[in-house]
Amino acid sequence: MMYKVLFLLIEFVLCIEGANILGIFTTTSASHNIIHMSIVDALVNKGHNLTVVTVLPLKDKNPKYHHVYIPPPKDVKKSIDESMIQMANTKGFDNFKVFISSIKEMTNMQYNLMFTEEFQNVIHGPTKFDLLLFGYAVNDFQMAIAQQLKIPVVISWVNVPNSMVNFFVGNPVIVGTEGTGFGQRMKSFIAHGVMKLVNIIGHYKLAQYYEEYKEIMNLQDLQSYQELQKNISIVIGNSHFSDGVIRANVPAYVEVGGIQIKPKPAALDNDLKEFLDNSSTQGAIFFSLGSNVKVSSLDPKFVKVIYNVLSKVKQNVVWKWEDPSNFPGNSKNIFYRNWLPQDDILAHKNVKLFVTHGGKGSIVESQYHGVPMVALPVFGDQIGNANQMVDEGYGLNLDYQTMSEDDFRNSIEEVLNNSTYTDNVQQFSKVYRDRPISSRDTAVYWIEYVIRHRGASHLQSPLVHTNMFVQYSLDVVGFLFIMLYLFVKMIKISLRFVKSRFLKIKQD
Ligand SMILES: *[C@@H]1O[C@H](CO)[C@@H](O)[C@H](O)[C@H]1NC(C)=O
Ligand SMILES: *[C@@H]1O[C@H](CO)[C@@H](O)[C@H](O)[C@H]1NC(C)=O
Ligand SMILES: *[C@@H]1O[C@H](CO)[C@@H](O)[C@H](O)[C@H]1NC(C)=O
Ligand SMILES: *[C@@H]1O[C@H](CO)[C@@H](O)[C@H](O)[C@H]1NC(C)=O
Ligand SMILES: *[C@@H]1O[C@H](CO)[C@@H](O)[C@H](O)[C@H]1NC(C)=O
**Each residue's pLDDT expressed in tens, for the chain with a length of 508 residues:** 566 655 555 554 444 579 999 999 999 988 899 999 999 999 999 999 999 999 999 988 889 999 999 999 999 989 988 888 888 888 888 888 888 888 999 999 999 999 999 999 999 999 999 999 999 999 999 999 999 999 999 999 998 898 899 999 999 888 878 888 999 999 988 998 898 899 999 999 999 999 999 999 999 999 999 999 999 999 999 999 988 788 889 999 999 999 999 989 999 999 999 999 999 999 999 999 988 777 777 888 899 999 999 999 999 999 999 888 889 999 999 999 988 999 999 999 999 999 999 988 899 999 999 999 999 998 878 898 999 999 999 999 999 899 999 999 999 999 999 999 999 999 999 999 999 999 999 999 999 999 999 999 899 999 999 888 888 889 999 999 999 999 999 999 999 999 888 877 766 6
Distance 415 CA to ligand 4 centre (A): 9
Burial label, 237 (beta-carbon count in 10 A; 0-12, 13-18, 19+): buried
Q: Do domains 14-70+116-261+438-465 and 270-433 have the same CATH topology?
A: yes
Report how far residue 200's alpha carbon sits from residue 206's, in angstroms, rounded to the nearest whole number: 10
Q: How many helices (H) and strands (E) does the chain have?
A: 19, 13
- For ligand 4, atom 11, the nearest C-alpha belongs to 418
Distance 148 CA to ligand 2 centre (A): 58
- Using a 6 Å cutoff on CB, does residue 49 contact ligand 1? yes
| Phi, psi (deg, nearest 5) at residue 70 | -120, 85
- Nearest ligand 5 atom to the CA of 460 is 13
Global pTM reads: 0.86
- Nearest ligand 2 atom to the CA of 278 is 1
- Domain residue limits, the chain: 14-70+116-261+438-465, 270-433, 473-507
Distance 127 CA to ligand 1 centre (A): 6
Q: What is the Cα gyration radius of the chain?
A: 27
- For ligand 2, atom 6, the nearest C-alpha belongs to 278
Ligand closest in space to the Cα of 123: 1
Distance 46 CA to ligand 5 centre (A): 26
Ligand closest in space to the Cα of 462: 5
Nearest to 108 by CA among 134, 84, 75, 146: 75
pLDDT of residue 13: 46
168 close to 140: Cβ distance less than 8 angstroms: no
The one-character DSSP state at 230 is: T
- For ligand 2, atom 3, the nearest C-alpha belongs to 278
Distance 418 CA to ligand 4 centre (A): 6
Strands (E), 187-308: 232-237, 253-255, 284-288
Residue range 14-70+116-261+438-465 forms a domain whose CATH class is alpha beta
| Segment holding 49, helix H or strand E | strand 49-54
- Nearest ligand 4 atom to the CA of 419 is 1
- For ligand 2, atom 1, the nearest C-alpha belongs to 278
- Using a 6 Å cutoff on CB, does residue 275 contact ligand 2? yes
- Nearest ligand 3 atom to the CA of 417 is 1
Task: Return the best residue to mutate from 309, 411, 412, 417 for the ligand 3 pocket (most ligand atoms within 8 A of CB).
Answer: 417
**CA angle in degrees (0–180, nearest 5) for 446-449-454:** 130
Strands (E), 84-180: 131-135, 153-157
Q: 318: which strand partners?
A: 286, 335
Distance 425 CA to ligand 4 centre (A): 14
Q: What 3-state DSSP class applies to 265?
A: coil
The one-character DSSP state at 147 is: H
Q: Looking at the chain, how many residues does it have?
A: 508
pLDDT of residue 322: 87
Distance 206 CA to ligand 5 centre (A): 21
Strands (E), 200-346: 232-237, 253-255, 284-288, 316-320, 334-337
Ligand closest in space to the Cα of 49: 1
Ligand closest in space to the Cα of 273: 2
pLDDT of residue 502: 80
CATH architecture of 270-433: 3-Layer(aba) Sandwich (3.40)
111 close to 26: Cβ distance less than 8 angstroms: no
- Using a 6 Å cutoff on CB, does residue 50 contact ligand 1? no
Residue 292 one-letter amino acid? N
Report how far residue 13's alpha carbon sits from residue 10's, in angstroms, rounded to the nearest whole number: 5
Distance 410 CA to ligand 3 centre (A): 8
pLDDT of residue 9: 52
Protein residues whose CB sits closer than 6 Å to any atom of ligand 3: 410, 413-414, 417
Protein residues whose CB sits closer than 6 Å to any atom of ligand 4: 418, 420
Q: 66: which strand partners?
A: 51
Ligand closest in space to the Cα of 314: 3
- For ligand 2, atom 12, the nearest C-alpha belongs to 275
Distance 282 CA to ligand 4 centre (A): 22
- Using a 6 Å cutoff on CB, does residue 223 contact ligand 1? no
Nearest to 364 by CA among 247, 236, 259, 249: 259
